[in-house]
Chains A and B, each alone.
Chain A
Amino acid sequence: MLSEERSKDIETDALSAPAAGRLANPDVRDEFGLETLDMSMGPQHPAMHGLLRLILELDGETVVRCDPVMGYLHRSKEKISENRMYPAVIPITDRIDYMNNMAMEYGYCLAVESLMDVEIPPRADAIRALMNEFSRIMSHIPSIGFLLLELGAFTPILYAFRERERIQTIMEAVTGARMMFHYIRIGGVKADLPEGMPEEMWKYIEGLEERLEPDFVDLIAGNEIFVARTRGVGKMTQEKAVEMGLTGVPLRCTGVEFDVRKHYPYGWYKNLDFDVVTDEAGDVEASYRCRIGEVKQSIRMIKQILENLPEGEVMGDTGRRIRPDEGDGFGRVESARGEYAVHIVSDGTDTPYRVHYRTPCTVNMQLLQEIVPGHYLPDIMPIMGLIDPVSGAWDK
């Protein structure tokens, strides 16, 4: 641990240095001698996707400086994970990104499995991918709703939650839980699909395919106010996006084709045929189009999986006690928000020595302090919708 003076030194150094997201001269006045207005938005704010505080400096309605402060939902996932046995960490990962839990479980299990000599049965792999795609739809559709909610339109969120509700019913039938699934286990999945479930899923997916265009495209995409509020807002170049380490929809909406499922394939995704949805514009409207496109790709993938669902076991042989070899294990999946990676350091005991979660939200949120200055105050909300962070995921 650092000594007190040293840590103070470092902090004061950092605080006095002019930096990104910090104004060089705090006593800034314009030519009329007018000061800027400081405003603290959040942590209790309806549009902050949970608990985020933005320290804003406003010149009229224009944001001059934006400094995100996080940690209000920090639950020390990494420390807890260090003190639990390997299987007991899975429910902890569920609560990281509570909108897209399956991907969180999947990444962790992949990381542990990379340290173990265990063969995943093909049926388990297929079911994992299947549930992941359902989870992605379950996250993408409400995030479209949230974007509209933050623009002031109330209705789409309820249409979105109707879809989420229906998927949750399917998830409940398969996993036994509506939100915190604890379904993907080290070596496979908890249980096989219930009898008749593939047909139910097929029925739902066909219905969703029919409803997607009228409910989420026709009602929203052509709306002039929606276009006026989103086109050109939060615009960024490809270089900026890559430089900021963005992944997921915020990166793809600038036109950079990167999807972990395609370029670092894992599990059943190697066998699936799908496109990486990209857009050129790199603004909020493009991210909305990307999300709709990804839902369509997810539907396509679910259909492929359901058509060729392999038979057999759903749990590999991991032995009675899960004790991975010493070394570093990595798992990387594409969550609904971007690249989610888990790095596990094992010392050969039955608890991990260190678990690091790379959540896409934390990284993508750096965008706020870069692109919000210069925008109007109400533009922060669509930009939040572009990043679509989840409080639990950025705070861990």
Chain B
Amino acid sequence: MAVTLPEGDLNSRLENYLDGFRNRHGLEEAEVDGNVVRLVVKPEVLLAVLATAKERLRILHLSFITVVDRVGSFELTYELLDLRGGQVRVKTTVEGEEPVIDTVTEIYPTANWHEREAYDMFGIAFKGHPDLRRLYMWQDHFDHHPLLKSFEISTKRTFEGLR
């Protein structure tokens, strides 16, 4: 029941990943930067890209999902590691105030709580998620998503006068 991890030269492996993604999907941007394969994709193909990563290229580890509130749209970063020095960073942007995106829990089960956290903090709905409840905040009587830029806090300090 051993897991096979990739071997061999890092640079050729990264090129291999890049080709693998390029040949199968319509990518908006794709490049190798250091030990990172950077991809920018449309939300519609995200699931397919991650499936390629997991099933064909055997990139087994989903490190984290970051959501950035760009006010009007949300930028999601999926960071994948092949556990041997290579990284794949997939970015996608979802438009709108009530974003919906496909869940990746089918591909990476570890995304379960990452997505719950994103739902909790940003209100992003992950379509098909098995257990989409709030992770940190109250389950009921709390209708806010605190990491949105529209969620103001009272002690914001910018130190604009400092030079």
| A/B touching: CB–CB < 8 A | yes
Q: Which of A44-81 contact B (CB under 8 A)?
A: 70-71, 74, 76, 78-79
Query: What's the least CB distance linking B32 to chain A, in Å?
Result: 15
Which among B12-20, B22-30, B146-154 touches the partner chain? B146-154
Interface size on A, residues (CB 8 A): 61
Q: Is A328 an interface residue (CB 8 A)?
A: yes
Report the bound CA distance from A245 to B136 in whole Å: 20
Which among A15-23, A118-126, A203-211 touches the partner chain? A15-23
B145 and A1 form a contact (CB under 8 A): yes
Query: What's the least CB distance linking B107 to chain A, in Å?
Result: 10
Q: Is A255 an interface residue (CB 8 A)?
A: yes
Q: Is A339 an interface residue (CB 8 A)?
A: yes
A20 and B131 form a contact (CB under 8 A): yes
Report the bound CA distance from A6 to B155 in whole Å: 31
Indicate whether A83 sits within 8 Å of B136 (C-beta atoms), given known contacts A242-B61, A343-B79.
no
Q: Which of B106-133 contact A (CB under 8 A)?
A: 108-114, 117, 119, 121, 123, 125, 129-133
A244 and B136 form a contact (CB under 8 A): no
Contact of B113 among A239, A255, A362 (CB under 8 A): A362
Contact of A238 among B2, B132, B147 (CB under 8 A): B2
Query: What's the least CB distance linking B118 to chain A, in Å?
Result: 10
Q: Is A3 an interface residue (CB 8 A)?
A: yes
Q: Among A10, A11, A71, A245, find the residue whose CB has the most chain B CB atoms closer than 10 A.
A: A245
Report the bound CA distance from A74 to B112 in whole Å: 19
Indicate whether A363 sits within 8 Å of B113 (C-beta atoms), given known contacts A7-B123, A263-B83.
yes
Q: Is B102 an interface residue (CB 8 A)?
A: no
Indicate whether A345 sits within 8 Å of B68 (C-beta atoms), given known contacts A2-B125, A238-B3.
yes
Which among A142-150, A213-221, A307-315, A353-361 touches the partner chain? A353-361
B130 and A354 form a contact (CB under 8 A): no
Contact of A263 among B85, B98, B117, B148 (CB under 8 A): B85
Task: List the B residue with the shortest CB-CB distance to A6.
Answer: B98
Q: Is B66 an interface residue (CB 8 A)?
A: yes
B83 and A343 form a contact (CB under 8 A): no
Query: What's the least CB distance linking B151 to chain A, in Å?
Result: 8
B110 and A14 form a contact (CB under 8 A): no
Report the bound CA distance from A115 to B40 in whole Å: 20
CB-CB under 8 A from B85, the residues of chain A are: 263-264
Question: B55-94 vs A: 1/0 string, CB under 8 Å?
Answer: 0000011111011110000000101010111010000000
CB-CB under 8 A from B158, the residues of chain A are: 349-351
Report the bound CA distance from A7 to B62 in whole Å: 26
Question: A193-206 vs B: 1/0 string, CB under 8 Å?
Answer: 00000000000000
Query: What's the least CB distance linking B43 to chain A, in Å?
Result: 17
A239 and B3 form a contact (CB under 8 A): yes
Report the bound CA distance from A160 to B106 in whole Å: 42
Query: What's the least CB distance linking B152 to chain A, in Å?
Result: 10
CB-CB under 8 A from A395, the residues of chain B are: 136
B113 and A321 form a contact (CB under 8 A): no
B68 and A366 form a contact (CB under 8 A): no
A-B contact pairs, 16 of them (CB 8 A): A1-B97, A2-B145, A3-B98, A13-B132, A20-B131, A83-B153, A83-B156, A84-B157, A239-B1, A242-B61, A245-B61, A256-B3, A328-B77, A341-B63, A349-B158, A363-B110
In the complex, the 4 A-B pairs of residues with the closest C-beta atoms, listed nearest first: A245-B110, A358-B64, A19-B130, A71-B136
